Amino acid sequence: IAGITQAPTSQILAAGRRMTLRCTQDMRHNAMYWYRQDLGLGLRLIHYSNTAGTTGKGEVPDGYSVSRANTDDFPLTLASAVPSQTSVYFCASSDYTGELFFGEGSRLTVL
Amino acid sequence: AQSVAQPEDQVNVAEGNPLTVKCTYSVSGNPYLFWYVQYPNRGLQFLLKYITGDNLVKGSYGFEAEFNKSQTSFHLKKPSALVSDSALYFCAVRPLSGGYNKLIFGAGTRLAVHP
């Protein structure tokens, strides 16, 4: 069982470019999340989706957008990347017990 | 504001000794409490959680945590540390009335277990 699959694992991007981070789950969880991890700040929620067809803003949503067309996929898009979006991005899903399942992360560097 | 504090950036312990990683929180109402572990270049993995009931919760890899309501703490413990326990540990708190979009993470504590 793969769980959460993220792609790409690493990317270097020029400022101003558009970038989509992909996330797919095979656990049929209703809820999915995107976090960014920065040194000394822990994990901060960017966007979330409680079920297919709905999304919501987290703590740090500016500059990011998401969509949830189906249960399995939850892509995160940076419309015009800026250097402050250099981070490690984690996709996660949760089951009814409240346990979060994380992907392995996507390391993004914006120059 | 609701928050989670992990007061130690790093905890150093000798292999075989007991370890404690501290977590305190400030949230309204009774919270759900979690510990996650992150190994280098990996995603976070669930260790244990407290929802209700016995204040001492046992989790994966021999870890346990004690919920203390009066001190609003949820410290992670292990009786005998292993070198392989060296990793980054995150405490997370969710208010009882909130959804999982309300989960708040601490900044993390790096555990270093020395042979």
Tens of pLDDT along A64-88? 999 999 999 999 999 999 999 999 9
- Residue B85, φ and ψ in degrees, nearest 5: -80, -10
Beta-bridged to residue B94, according to DSSP, are B32
Q: Quick check: A103 and A4 in contact, CB under 8 A?
A: yes
Quickly state the pLDDT bin for B27 (edges 50, 70, 90): confident
In this structure, of A40-44, A68-72, A74-78, B109-113, the range with the lowest mean pLDDT score is: A40-44
What one-letter code names the amino acid at B6?
Answer: Q
Q: How many CA atoms lie within 13 A of B59 on its CB side?
A: 23
Per-residue pLDDT, B50: 92
Average pLDDT, stretch B95-113? Answer: 83
Query: Can you say how many angstroms the Cα of residue B81 is from the centroid of all Cα atoms in its chain?
Result: 15
Give me the percent of chain B exceeding a pLDDT of 90: 73
Of A26-30, B49-53, B63-67, minimum mean pLDDT range: B49-53
Residue B101 sits at φ, ψ, to 5 deg, of: -75, -10
pLDDT band at B16 (very low <50, low <70, confident <90, very high): very high
Q: Does B66 touch chain A (CB under 8 A)?
A: no
pLDDT for residue B101: 67
For residue A97, give both structure tokens: 């017990």
Q: Do B105 and A43 touch (CB under 8 A)?
A: yes
Q: Is the pLDDT of residue A63 over 70?
A: yes
What is the pLDDT of chain B when averaged over all its residues?
91
- The answer to whether B45 contacts A102, with C-beta atoms less than 8 Å apart, is yes
The model's confidence at residue B29, banded by pLDDT at 50, 70 and 90, is confident
A98: closest CA of chain B, how far (Å): 7
What is the per-residue pLDDT for B99?
67
Distance from the B17 Cα atom to the nearest Cα atom in chain A, whole angstroms: 27
pLDDT at A98 over 80: no
Task: Flag if A58 and B108 touch (Cβ within 8 Å).
Answer: no
Residues in CB range of B43: below 8 A, 6 or more apart: A4, A90, A92, A102, A103, A104, A105
Q: Which two tokens stand for residue B59?
A: 């989790």
3-state class of B24 per DSSP?
strand
Closest partner residue to A41 among B49, B100, B107, by Cβ? B107
Chain A interface includes B114 (CB < 8 A): no
Separation between Cα atoms, residue B106 and residue A15, nearest integer Å: 30
Cβ contact (<8 Å) for B100 and A100?
yes
Do residues A19 and A11 touch, judged by C-beta distance below 8 A?
A: yes
The residue ranking higher by pLDDT, B109 or B28, is: B109
B39: closest CA of chain A, how far (Å): 10
CA distance A73 to chain B (A): 18
For the record, the structure tokens of B60 come out as: 């994966």
B106 CB neighbours in chain A (<8 A) are: 42
